[in-house]
Structure 1
Amino acid sequence: MASTVEKTSQPTGSTPPSSTTEQGVLEAGHLTAIPAHNRLQHLANRLDALAGVESRGIERVPPELRDRKMGLTDYLGIGIMWFSINCTANQMTLGVLGPVSYGLGFVDAVLLCMFGTIFGAACSGYIASFGPISGNRTLVIARYSMGWWPSRICVILNWVIEMGYGLVDCLVAGLILSAVNGRGMSVIVGIVISAVITWVVATFGIKWFHTFERWIAIPTVLVLFIFIGCASPHFDASSKSVGSGATLAGNRVSYFFLTASGPLGWVPAAADFFVYYPEGTSRKWVCFMTTAGMTLGKLLIEFLGIGLGTGLSTNPDWSEAFSSSGVGALVVAGYAPLQDFGKFCAVVLALAVAANNIPGTYAAALNFQQLCTPFSKIPRPVWTTVAAIIYMVCAIAGRAHLLSIFLNFLGLIGYWVIIWIAIVLEDEFIFRRRVGFVWEDWNDKSKLPVGIAALISFLIGWAGAIVCMGQTYYYGPIARLVGEYGADLGLPVAFAWTALSYYPLRLLEIKLLGR
């Protein structure tokens, strides 16, 4: 990574304990405990001490609390964690969309999925690298580029992302469990089972979360290799893309950016999971291991989804299962030759979907705390409970419309995230190239940017996304010009419009307001 990045990662000093209570916490070595300003936080700290329930929320983790040496196993653990998070059955839906919704052949879909995923994962890797050097959660870091109040827009949008993924994850798990049971078990029961597993791990917090992700990959990969041997003979690797000329180009572009939107969805939470890592952790390696782990995890499962999508036209059993109950039944149909053992493998995949949902629920709880000061005083475990209830209820209500929910929801994720990425890149490499970041100012709005420049450029970027976006419910006037069906050009246009507008606006903001 460039030397300018290394400059920002140098320690900027440490903040002394703010009270005797915090001093006691530091001396006792309770990494996740914080000063108790109310009874709820006092109870959370007690649970932390007794059962290891993480009580710390959005409060910065000071360097002295995480002063240790990073080893090779720590960096490998980052890659394994991201692999586990993304190698889950719900990702198959994204693969299936290539052949089913965009009419792409096997080779086209695989190549576009691979490069789109690498692009999105690299963006998440870049943001993840801020966690150790700052000790701050991802959207607390957003305050340094977006400003105190405009950063709340990012918080709200990310909360919607996490709730949407929670809905989809629980729904996929519920559909698989119901299909395994021959639909004798309601999808609702499956949704509740998945939500409860997620809630338990996310509520206990970072230690349980990292441990769960470290081990869940083993049974997941084993049953996926079984799935490959069982279902791959029915994949149509010779299938060709439908259409030609501008129409085919439009479908390819749309699918590329759709697959990029998946890993881009982790950008607003990527640093949340590394705030307890030492301040001297290598940014290069955090970025690389995040990108590699996320890419490998997603591609393993999404390539299988593409294969399933190509096999629908030649395998009537798959086609019937997919048309009746969606991706969940399609997974069970892929295991059908193994009979009862195949059903067991499908159950393992269904329960492992929680690996994707746990970090989202964890991040959603932090988003609640970031919305306003009164919410920040309510401990994180309370908010994980609220988040789990919300997406569980939404999943039950939307259980008949998974594919349309996923397609429409996922496309919207990338637009605002790529806008924020453009702002952060310019902020770090241009405006903070010499001055760096003072991470101790995370909660002092008088020392953070006002955010007028970021807000205006954010809205300009959204305007670009709107005129160039291509979704099933809306095609922008520019997007409609590409081929017969149009193309989703929202991501590159949103990025470009934001980048071009932020630089002069930020210069003007600094000149007029001084910060």
Structure 2
Amino acid sequence: MKPEDIEKAHESPSLRSVSPFEIYNDSSSAINAGIDTKPQSRYRRLIQSLKNVESQGIERVLPEEREEMTASSTLHMLLMWFSMALATNNIIVGSMGTMVLGLSFKDAALCAVFGNLVGASTIGYMSTWGPRSGNRTLIVSRYFMGYYPSKACCMLNVFTNLGYSMVNCVVGGQILSKVSGGHLSVLVGIVVVAFSSWVMAMFGMRIFQIYERVAWLPQLMVLCIMVGSAGPHFDFSTRTESSAAVLNAKRISFFSLCLSVGLSWAPLAADYYVYYPSHVKRWRTFAVTVLGCGQAMVITLVLGIGLGTVMASSPTYALKYGTDPGGLLMTAYDSLGGFGKFCAVINVLALVASNTPGSYSMGMNFQMLGGFFQRVPRPIFTTLSTIIYTACAMGGRNSLYEIFKGFLPLIGYWVIIWFMIVLEEDVIFRRKSGYDWTAWNNPQKLPKGIAAGISFLIGWAGAILGMNQSYYSGIIAQLTNGSDLGIWIGAGFTAMAYPPLRMLELSLYGR
């Protein structure tokens, strides 16, 4: 029986997924049906009475609940990705290539462009699972990792988004403080960014998509102004003063850093396509996603690289604005006076646009843990996550570059390991058998996950051997002049380990 026939056989009114505010029956007979056996809570009735608050949780979006695909919806999705990835925090990452690692503009720009191309391709590939399945990205992961091992990826993705949200809040808080001339503290600025992101995330993906369709335009205009203002001061002539071996190590490290920017979006990519019909061509979804996010990330990374050369070659700017991310951005508007401050505020709005998807998806990730977590409404987790990353932002506001340098590669390590398992399972083991998308919440119909779990740990062992961070340097990294090879060795170890382990698992359990 074809996967499409299986889906039709399973879809019936009695098996329709329910709102995330319904209480799930944990018995095996109801685990996939989502039958509500409890009376409505007062809180749930309150939430459902609010207009425009999304009631869809982690449950599958059925084919009849989805929207029709049109040319305008394709354009809207491209603009949404362009808006989300046109993020101010990418400027900060780009500046690390020239300010922190000491690379020349040419070296850093090449690493950024090609690293971003690889990263955007992983986002594009993972986005194709949304229309195919109607499931969120890490729900789809259950078909590759197994029901229980996939929960580890959910928690890792929560930490990933908490870290990114914390960074966004700190950068936004610093900008607002600089704009106000110090009258507004960084702490208050952090709260403003966090609260704005929380409000947007509470209303769900439909409202967010509408906002993102127009948010990119002022962001892009401000970045063009930034290029016009700071571009003449970019240093294109300074070369990296290092030996060939050290230079190559820095290039690899920055390439991996830029790759990690794209990889951080991959565990969320399918979430934004679950309302698209299943007949959408995969290449179309892939192309729209890569074009949208790839272009935006290249623009912001290269702009950050240029600003980094200004700060590295002109001590005057460092003394005037400081070397924190907020000072870096104010350097770009040095000659624009009050209008420059207005542009900086638009940059803060861009941070909110980038922060909201993570806040939204964290609520989903908590519910994916199942049990008690699945019965808690998404807005509660969204609110809790916002409180946590706001508190972390307040505590880490004075050491953002150090946090970014150590935090981003860690994202890349686990995501690339997970991505290799997804890719090999799909290409090697699932190409002919297909998927029963109605079994998303039934552990008895999903893979055991033993092969994936062991391969994941083996990949992490490889990443540890190749990583080079301030807190730890692996053996292989030490032998290669400090190159951060964690992403590449982790991917290689996983790619070699997973196929034989998965074949053994299939021979023993048949699923």
TM-score over 0.5 (shorter chain): yes
The answer for the alignment partner of 1:141 in structure 2 is 140
Distance 2:41 2:335 in 1: 53
Q: What one-letter code is carried by the residue in structure 2 that aligns with 1:279?
A: S
The answer for the alignment partner of 1:183 in structure 2 is 182
**Partners of 1:92 and 1:301 within 8 A in 2:** yes
Distance 1:399 1:59 in 2: 37
**Partners of 2:112 and 2:258 within 8 A in 1:** yes
**Partners of 2:112 and 2:254 within 8 A in 1:** yes
Aligned partner (choices 431, 434, 447) of residue 432 of structure 2: 434
Within 5 A, what are the aligned runs for 1:85-104? Answer: 85-104=84-103
Q: Which runs of no fewer than 5 residues in structure 1 stay unpaired?
A: 1-6, 26-33
1:398–1:21 Cα change, 3 Å? closer
1:226–1:40 Cα change, 3 Å? farther
Is 1:272 equivalent to 2:271 in the alignment? yes
Aligned-residue offset at 1:285 = 1.2
Distance 1:9 1:354 in 2: 39
Counterpart secondary structure, 2:286: helix
1:45–1:243 Cα change, 3 Å? farther
Is 1:382 equivalent to 2:385 in the alignment? no
Aligned-residue offset at 1:56 = 1.3
Counterpart secondary structure, 1:54: coil
Q: What one-letter code is carried by the residue in structure 1 that aligns with 2:257?
A: L
Counterpart secondary structure, 2:475: coil
The answer for the alignment partner of 1:153 in structure 2 is 152
The answer for the alignment partner of 1:361 in structure 2 is 359
Aligned-residue offset at 1:386 = 1.0
Q: What one-letter code is carried by the residue in structure 2 that aligns with 1:268?
A: P
Is 1:287 equivalent to 2:283 in the alignment? no
1:298–1:462 Cα change, 3 Å? same
1:153–1:19 Cα change, 3 Å? closer
Distance 2:178 2:40 in 1: 42
The answer for the alignment partner of 1:29 in structure 2 is none
Q: What one-letter code is carried by the residue in structure 2 that aligns with 1:54?
A: E
The answer for the alignment partner of 2:52 in structure 1 is 52
**Partners of 1:41 and 1:377 within 8 A in 2:** no
Question: CA offsets, 1:353-381, max 9 Å, x none?
Answer: 10110001011111111123111111112
Q: What one-letter code is carried by the residue in structure 2 that aligns with 1:508?
A: L
The answer for the alignment partner of 2:196 in structure 1 is 197
Counterpart secondary structure, 1:371: coil
The answer for the alignment partner of 2:131 in structure 1 is 132
Is 1:505 equivalent to 2:506 in the alignment? no
Is 1:493 equivalent to 2:489 in the alignment? yes
Distance 1:9 1:473 in 2: 50
**Partners of 1:206 and 1:273 within 8 A in 2:** yes
The answer for the alignment partner of 2:466 in structure 1 is 468
The answer for the alignment partner of 2:224 in structure 1 is 225
Between stretches 12-21 and 283-292, larger displacement belongs to 12-21
Is 1:351 equivalent to 2:349 in the alignment? yes
Counterpart secondary structure, 1:169: helix
Q: Which runs of no fewer than 5 residues in structure 2 stay unpaired?
A: 22-33
Distance 1:59 1:500 in 2: 34
Distance 1:482 1:40 in 2: 60
Distance 2:39 2:219 in 1: 41
1:333–1:21 Cα change, 3 Å? closer
Between stretches 49-58 and 465-474, larger displacement belongs to 49-58
**Partners of 1:98 and 1:309 within 8 A in 2:** yes
Question: CA offsets, 1:73-109, max 9 Å, x none?
Answer: 2222222111111112111111111012221100111
Between stretches 77-86 and 498-507, larger displacement belongs to 77-86
**Partners of 2:82 and 2:292 within 8 A in 1:** yes
Between stretches 343-352 and 443-452, larger displacement belongs to 343-352
The answer for the alignment partner of 1:65 in structure 2 is 65
Q: What one-letter code is carried by the residue in structure 2 that aligns with 1:490?
A: G
Within 5 A, what are the aligned runs for 1:441-480? Answer: 441-480=439-478
Q: What one-letter code is carried by the residue in structure 2 that aligns with 1:491?
A: I
Runs of 4+ in 1 over 4 A off after TM superposition: 7-11, 19-23, 34-46
1:40–1:159 Cα change, 3 Å? farther
**Partners of 1:468 and 1:479 within 8 A in 2:** yes
Counterpart secondary structure, 1:312: helix
Aligned-residue offset at 1:45 = 6.4
Distance 2:370 2:239 in 1: 52
**Partners of 1:55 and 1:381 within 8 A in 2:** no
Counterpart secondary structure, 1:421: helix
**Partners of 1:457 and 1:498 within 8 A in 2:** yes
Counterpart secondary structure, 1:313: helix
**Partners of 2:99 and 2:312 within 8 A in 1:** no
Q: What one-letter code is carried by the residue in structure 2 that aligns with 1:388?
A: T
The answer for the alignment partner of 1:31 in structure 2 is none
The answer for the alignment partner of 2:27 in structure 1 is none
Is 1:514 equivalent to 2:493 in the alignment? no
Aligned-residue offset at 1:340 = 0.7
**Partners of 1:148 and 1:448 within 8 A in 2:** yes
Q: What one-letter code is carried by the residue in structure 2 that aligns with 1:171?
A: V
Counterpart secondary structure, 2:241: coil
1:363–1:321 Cα change, 3 Å? farther
Distance 2:56 2:152 in 1: 23
Report % sequence identity: 45
Distance 1:438 1:141 in 2: 11
The size of the alignment, in residue pairs, is 496
Distance 2:172 2:14 in 1: 45
Is 1:168 equivalent to 2:198 in the alignment? no
TM-score, normalisation: structure 2? 0.93
**Partners of 1:175 and 1:325 within 8 A in 2:** no
The answer for the alignment partner of 1:4 in structure 2 is none
Q: What one-letter code is carried by the residue in structure 2 that aligns with 1:16?
A: S
1:122–1:332 Cα change, 3 Å? same
Distance 1:182 1:343 in 2: 10
Distance 1:229 1:420 in 2: 41
Question: CA offsets, 1:474-499, max 9 Å, x none?
Answer: 1100111113xx10111111111111
**Partners of 2:97 and 2:254 within 8 A in 1:** yes
Aligned-residue offset at 1:336 = 1.9
Q: What one-letter code is carried by the residue in structure 1 that aligns with 2:61?
A: V
Distance 2:204 2:323 in 1: 34
**Partners of 1:48 and 1:55 within 8 A in 2:** yes
Aligned-residue offset at 1:328 = 0.7
**Partners of 2:18 and 2:59 within 8 A in 1:** no
Counterpart secondary structure, 2:312: coil
The answer for the alignment partner of 1:234 in structure 2 is 233
**Partners of 2:161 and 2:359 within 8 A in 1:** yes
Aligned-residue offset at 1:37 = 5.7
1:395–1:104 Cα change, 3 Å? same
Is 1:394 equivalent to 2:416 in the alignment? no
1:385–1:511 Cα change, 3 Å? same
Aligned partner (choices 392, 414, 417) of residue 415 of structure 2: 417
**Partners of 2:218 and 2:346 within 8 A in 1:** yes
Q: What one-letter code is carried by the residue in structure 2 that aligns with 1:271?
A: A
Distance 1:102 1:308 in 2: 14
Q: What one-letter code is carried by the residue in structure 2 that aligns with 1:370?
A: M
Question: CA offsets, 1:271-322, max 9 Å, x none?
Answer: 1111111111221111111111111111111111101111123323322256
